[in-house]
Amino acid sequence: MTAAGRARRIVWLRRAVQTAGLLLFLGLLIATRPREGAEASPWLQVWFDLDPLVLTGTWLATHSVAGLSLLALITVAATLILGRVFCGWLCPLGTLHNAISALRRRGAARRDMGRFSPWQRLKLGLLAALLVMALFGVHWLGVLDPFGLLTRSMTTAVLPAVDVIVGDSATAIYAADPRLGSFPLTRISEPVYRFFRDRVFSGQRPAFDGAMLVALIFAAALVLNLVRPRFWCRYVCPLGALLGLFSRRAPLRLRQTDACTHCGRCAMSCPAAAQPEKPGEWLPGECFGCWNCVAACPVDAVDFAWEPFWRRPRAGSDGVTRRGAIKALAAGVAGLLVLRLPPQARARAYHPALIRPPGARPEREFLQRCVQCGLCMKACPTNALQPTLLEAGLEGLWTPMLVPRLGYCEYECKLCGEVCPTEAIQRLTLAAKKETRIGLAVIDTTRCLPYAYGRSCIVCEEHCPVPDKAIYFVETEVPLRGGGTRTLKQPKVDADRCIGCGICEAKCPFRDRAAIRVTSAGESRHPDNQPILPGAEPLDAGGADPAADSYGDPYGG
Amino acid sequence: MIRTTRRSFLKQTAALGGAALLPPGLALGQDAAPPALAIARAGGERSADAELGPLARRLTREALAALGGMERFVSKGDVVWIKPNIGWNRAPELAACTNPDVVAELVTLCLAAGAKTVKVGDHPCHQAAQTYRTSGIAAAAAAAGAEVVFLDASRFRTVALGGERLKEWALYPEIIEADLVINVPVAKHHGLARATLAMKNYMGVIGGRRNAWHQDLDQCLVDITAYMKPRLCVLDAVRVLTAHGPVGGNPDDVKRLDTVAAATDIVALDALGAELLGHRPVDIASIRAAEAAALGTADWRSLPHAEREVS
């Protein structure tokens, strides 16, 4: 069999592997949801564990490694032997880019698209800059890491869009109840709807603040494939750049022979612009190992072959210069300073709305680990975890924040810590999680109905999940407008008991701005951000529990 | 305060209770009204917690039998909606939700009485996917043959209630379209209402801004109860939550009463529930309001009623 014939089979094999990888990614993402069973599987985050960029960045920032992240060494080993096959064969974002690239118009412009551009060095610059930042403790890798980008985009933008399409269509069909003859369409729409609602979204209707920005960036990354195939992978992806460094001496190399007729088909088929068409100038740091060029060659002039790794590959240069490296490092330092200079980044201020999920490490350590992937937001059963915009500074862009107006921290849940790929949110036992304070409820007496409007309302107390209630009542005689008084139960917060879960704020009848709101003060993770000296003046010392009604035992005799 | 000990209670109801052991109709002659309220409580040795499930089922079965059997309420081919309290993400042991075995037994009884479909669902306070699971109700009801229904926020429909406080409100169509709605609350403490029982359980058939109801809870409950026209309510007092309700969470607040009561008169049932929780019915504002609105009788002892002891 000719080299091209063999390569065509290999290309089909690659497509099958890519499809499987993408399906595995989507399957794991969808499985990252509240479900039966005690603990979330550690394999849900396996893509991040396989990502050496996450490993490197976390290690540089924290001098530690998380969970199964040493699996990334498998990726490194594979790259050292086979080149950037992770990009070409496995990466689900790369596969998506491949698919979009295939939609390009065929024709004359294609030869151009396969030509190497010096701008492809940009990704190396980004990698260097991001690693410099990580070394000094600013972990912004997740913004550009392919798994951070893809998971965040799918979670906050794509899946909610699917939910809107499926949910609204099904609801419209349900309301109109159209029939084909005697066959009700709801017979089809309802099972589909229920499948998505119960199996994919686990009963939530997810919606995320700032999803528009994430969606625009994701859409741009996809659309740019029409400008250059796999634009993102060629020019931007810092993981691709890192793997490119490992692949330069890989023993599986493209052998280019004299049989070449310079027809250029290999270049047109090359998604990486790795110069298969220039004998002796193939770029192993760019090549995805996709075998397209071998399959496209009509004269078998190119083929992959094993060479001993100690022999220098016959390869071209991407033209990385010392000057370029210095520019990248300087950019990293500049980026570091921009992100680090605001007062909040220097731990001199605390944002009241920055309520981190339970188990989140102290802010500095948290930011050194969080890769902004949004898996915690995907897992959160109440849709309470939302991506920040600037609440945590630009440094903390798209990190998770609890927004009690939109949801609350479910008392019996600890899923966010279980799915976090970098242990930015630590795994807690349920008992420990229930004791972890993420904030403190504050009553706004200018809004609260029993204080401000002389009406009874106990919704916050009713929902408070702390077994002995962190919200209690003080019965107060309130003067009425027309004279006379009314006795009302006015809620108060027991600061020693409140864990800041936010269900009081989520359920308050004031829908626009709740009359009871959670602030980040009091969070367990920050000894400084504390208004209360715990236990200093216990409210119910020695007395009856103020929230308990008297209970007479009817059978007590 | 009226204190009813088990002994005095049995004495008071000895004649009626004894008669109720006979088939309904025979007890007091053919003309006697069927009981409006039936109580089943465990007698004899207190069973272990582990055997509570089968006991809850027997109590439910007996309470319904004493009330005249499920056939009294379910006709062949009916669609029945069972409305337990599935409000909170709490395990059955914490008594924040209706006992799953009580629900499952009702499903079985409805199907045996000829119901075509039995649906089980509630509009919970916590997220439904979790409360349905944690409460054990989804699994138990499905195993008994029910269709477990999640209520969709987008599918509530505004309905004219014609109440004093509530002219109209968002209700769940599937519930109000059912041939029979069985209201199955668990008896619990509540910070505002003191006790949450059958009338308050109707807060799970409504949508909208129901958190505003607390500003005039009693009238709102009267309005929704009048609209729902209850025909059968079953009170789960197998375990009751005595403090820090309605969500609870502290096992020390839970008390076993090993009792299930069924009634056609929701006010009578709530009055009984109030007593079980240690209140005088007259101290529960919604019971007073409902009686004033002629929705039923708080003095349940004045009604034909039956009591059975289940071993």
Partnered with residue B186 across adjacent β-strands are B236
SS3 B186: strand
Question: B254 near B233, Cβ under 8 Å?
Answer: no
- Which uninterrupted H or E stretch holds A517? strand A516-519
- Cα separation, A335 vs A332, in Å, equals 5
- Cα separation, A456 vs A162, in Å, equals 41
| Single-letter code of the amino acid located at A477 | E
pLDDT for B57 beyond 60? yes
CA count, 13 A, side-chain hemisphere, A543:
9
Q: CB contact, 8 Å: A466 with chain B?
A: yes
| Length of chain A measured in residues | 557
SS3 B86: coil
Owner of token pair 């309290």: B85
- Cα separation, B260 vs B52, in Å, equals 12
Question: A379 near A411, Cβ under 8 Å?
Answer: no
Judge if ipTM > 0.90: no
**Cα–Cα separations (whole angstroms), residue B284 to A122, A282, B276, B298:** 73, 85, 13, 10
pLDDT for B31 beyond 80? no
The mean per-residue pLDDT over the stretch B133-160 comes to 94
SS3 A206: coil
Owner of token pair 């009509």: A298
pLDDT for A286 beyond 80? yes
Question: B168 near A187, Cβ under 8 Å?
Answer: no
DSSP A448-516: -IIIII-----HHHHH--STT-SEEEEEEEEE-TTSSEEEEEEEEE-TTT-----HHHHH-S--SS-SE
Partnered with residue B188 across adjacent β-strands are B196, B241
DSSP A360: B
| CATH fold label, A347-432 | Alpha-Beta Plaits (3.30.70)
pLDDT band of B150, cuts 50, 70, 90? very high
C-beta atoms of B211 and A36 within 8 A? no
Domains along the sequence of chain B with CATH: 35-310 (3.40.50.11440)
Q: Which residue of A has its CA nearest to B2?
A: A554
| Single-letter code of the amino acid located at A386 | Q
C-beta atoms of B153 and A205 within 8 A? yes
Owner of token pair 């980040």: A520
Q: Computed from CA positions of residues A467, A470, A475, A481, in that sequence, does the dihedral angle turn out positive or negative?
A: negative
> How does the average pLDDT of chain A come out, rounded?
90
pLDDT digit string (tens) for A364-404? 899 999 999 999 999 999 999 999 998 998 999 999 999 99
> Which residues of A, range 168-187, sit inside 8 Å of B by Cβ?
168, 171, 174-175
Comparing CA positions, the residue from A384, A503, A505, A391 lying closest to residue A444 is A505
DSSP A330: H
Partnered with residue B157 across adjacent β-strands are B171
pLDDT digit string (tens) for A85-111? 999 999 999 999 999 988 876 665 566
The mean per-residue pLDDT over the stretch A187-204 comes to 86
The mean per-residue pLDDT over the stretch A520-533 comes to 90
| Single-letter code of the amino acid located at B151 | L
C-beta atoms of A412 and B130 within 8 A? yes
Q: Percentage of chain A surpassing pLDDT 70?
A: 94
- Cα of B87 to nearest chain A Cα, Å: 10
C-beta atoms of A557 and B5 within 8 A? yes
- Cα separation, A8 vs A277, in Å, equals 18
C-beta atoms of A467 and B249 within 8 A? yes
Residue partners of A470: CB distance under 8 A and separation at least 6: A441, A464, A493, A494, A497, A498, A499
DSSP A550: P
SS3 A385: strand
Owner of token pair 């629900």: B103
- Cα separation, A74 vs B79, in Å, equals 58
Question: A203 near A35, Cβ under 8 Å?
Answer: no
Q: How many CB atoms lie within 10 A of CB B151?
A: 18
- Cα separation, B74 vs B78, in Å, equals 6
- Cα separation, A418 vs A423, in Å, equals 8
Q: Domain residues of chain A, as ranges?
A: 3-143+225-306, 152-214, 347-432, 437-519
pLDDT digit string (tens) for A438-472? 999 999 999 999 999 999 999 999 999 998 899 99
Of A393-407, A529-543, B53-67, the least confident: A529-543
Q: How many CB atoms lie within 10 A of CB A407?
A: 22
Q: CB contact, 8 Å: A465 with chain B?
A: yes
